[in-house]
Structure 1
Amino acid sequence: MSESANPSLFVCGISGETPEEPVISPVSGAIFEKRLISKWIQENGTDPVNDAQLDTDQLIEVRPESIVRPKAPNHTSIPAILKALQDETDSIMLNNYSQRTQLQTTRQELSHALYQHDATCRVIARLQKETNATREALATLKPSQAQVPHEVDHVEVDSEVVESLSDEVKAKIEEQNAVLTKGRKELVTKRKAKLCGVEKLHNYTTQKTLKDLHEAGKQIVCMDMSKIDNTKIVTGSENNVVVYDINAAAVVSKFDGHKGAVSKVVYHTNKDVVFSASEDSTVRVWSLEGGAGTTIKAHKAAVTGIALHPLGSYILSSSKDHSWAFSDVESGNILTKATESEAKLESSDFHPDGLFFGVGTSTGGVKIWDIRNRVEVAPFGGHSGAVNALAFSENGYYVASAAAGNEIKIWDLRKLKEIKSIVMREDDYVVNALKFDPSGQYLGAAGQDLRLYMAKTWAEVTCYSSHEDDITDFVFGENCSTLGTCSRDSTVRLYGDAEAAPMES
């Protein structure tokens, strides 16, 4: 038996809601949802209202005229509907944000993986090329003692074979690299927080001029500043090195050991020790505490660049004999060495994490090497002359280079390509030196004057020009509170805040 009725008049005796399939119990006359009462009968065999015996065959199906399900109680008003829509919108927005975050993370991981893959491919290609060249050389090797060596520009090419780094030194370098890489972001952030801003740099004036560090008329070609307290500067001119104490206003050390012109000086990061490179093919280590010092004889031609490893125990040198060397500071021993067959090396610098370094060549190239395996991992080109200036940014992302002309090229080590070319306004401008400040925020370029550029945007920030001749080198003081320049006019100038009391000359 079945009946037709309005379903909205029914309420299930079990759920208390309007049933979708209403049925009537003949023993109690109550209405139930069919699926609920069927389950009840299977488990108990009785009517839930009066506990009388009941079978599913006894249920009477009610056929409603039409089924119109009522709205949920919380959607029966306009405010409730708006709230439901708002909740759904919020849920969609949160989900979209989550998806975007995951996409960005995936892109970064993919970019890193592609960079590693590309670097690995370059290493493999380099190794294969070297292997093939070695095999060909071995296959065609013949006695050649009677042959006269061919000279190139009267520079002896160094062909000395030196083994790769020992496992102990490699382990130290990798451990230091891991520490520096992990703390690099925090260190750079702290340095930027203390950095002097652009407005302050605009107000810098000459606070001190040093005229008697070297003999009158002798050009000062290089300089550096102590990293311990920023109170001492070291300069190189002709064949001597001078250390000047700013606070004491006096020369505290003078070293005359080179037999050729000094080309580069570096102050140790945490000791009163200075290093000098010379055209006499040597690198010398001088201690302000006295002593004979150490002479590193790693090359057969002029040494063009030196850079101290972040560990402070090793130093990199580049030379016009086409080679670079990695030596122990204490003993002067050569730990490893490699020869660039294509060109002379004109400049060099270490990556701030100490795993890689760069060299500039006489043919306009910039080459990035892995110090552990003596493998070239990234070559850059594009300069029209010898790359005489090279500098890595403190965050390790960029390397800047110049080739004795009026152009600076910025290379991105993550993308392995040139991202910016800075061309000076003057056609006859020659960039003699490039350096990033310790925070990596400013890039300095020295030539006819000293110009500072903002990293990332590479826009010129300010300019200093008070020398009578070209600036050959410069230094950043702590937090850029002081700047120093040396020049072919035989003077050193120190710049600082115009509001500060000027230092005596």
Structure 2
Amino acid sequence: MLKCSLSGETPPTDPVVTPSGRICSRRLLLSKMTENGGRDPFDPSGKRALDESDLVSLRTDDHDASAVPPRLPSAGSLPSLLGQIQSEYDALLLELYDARRALEETRRELSQALYQNDAAVRVVARLAMERDAAREKARELSSRVAAQPAVVEEDTRKRRRVEGDGEGVEEEKEVGPAPPPELAEKPAVVEPESAPAAGGEPSVKIPKSDLAAMKEAWTALSKARRKAAKAKKNEAGPALDDFAKFEEVDKKSLHRTNVKAGIDSLAIGGNLVVSCGRDKQAIVYNKSEGKMLATLKVPKCAVTVADIFVPDDGDAAVATGWSDGNVRLYAGSDLAAKGDASVDGTPVVGVSIHPSGKYAVAAVKSGKVGFFSLDASAEAEGIKLVALLGEKDDEGVEYTCGSLHPDGLIFGTGTADGKLLIWDLSSQTLAGTLVVS
């Protein structure tokens, strides 16, 4: 008696024989092959392929095929029914197991596909944001480059070439830039709230005698600088690798260690170094002798900046800026205090001594530039505010630093909003503005 290996039906309809020798219904076998991808359901490894052409059909009589196959007498007994029910139940469990396994596989593939899709979306979004940020930055840079003025040297000075002293050296003379039309109606300097008077109040213009002395010093310094530049024209400058080989050769701890450590400003003149620390005092140190010469401090006040002037013969002079807005002068062999002067009471952010040693220029936080005369003699008052420079529309301008050109006629100040302001002291005008950030 034939029996289907898949359904247990006896006898099976349209019976076929598989290459492994199993007899089963063609319809059920093809259906199973469709589910498992054309693999032999009777192969223990589940890897052997099975095609419909590999099946061998068994012939049956025509009258048997048209009639419903009868049940065996023993199939009607209770044990037989229970056995059939158990077989069908096992088949359902196997089918359910296959379905669950296929479901888990499909769910895993779907989860992986969704994860990859989410990652791709995030990458595309980040790239789009970076592209938009780069485009915005490029537009800002383009607008800044288009609006940036020409080189400051060309904006602030006109050069006149004259014959030298017989050595073929050309000399530059400062002639101050012609102000643009809008500045012709609105001068770049403004008067202080109190009008200049004969009682010692600062002026809005540097005295002509002081300007003449400054221009004389500028002529000599620029001439010497050009000679030195010509002498070094053919010399190769230091390479970048040379700086990488620098090593620390000395280290000094000059300031107090029981407060917040740090040095805010450093000035060097010859063998002398002025260090302004966060301990609110300035230290003057002699490098050649390896000792401290003086400690400069003011009660309840912090030093912010300093500059030092060391003449070829004579004693050094130190100008310091303080948080109370005063510029103080120290001079002599013992660097004693010679006097102080204030611009407007706001903290000093930059101070420089003129190369002649007779003047000092200081920038304060409120956006003003003060011009001071220096005289360390016993009968003089030491330091005096002579002129006050500022912009016409300086409301809201905040200076953060300031320094004087080595030739002594150009003073640069930095602002909190990232601008560099160039002051021409020969004409006392704001000659140029650069956006540096």
Q: TM-score, length-normalised on structure 2?
A: 0.50
More helix by share: 2
Q: TM-score, length-normalised on structure 1?
A: 0.43
More strand by share: 1
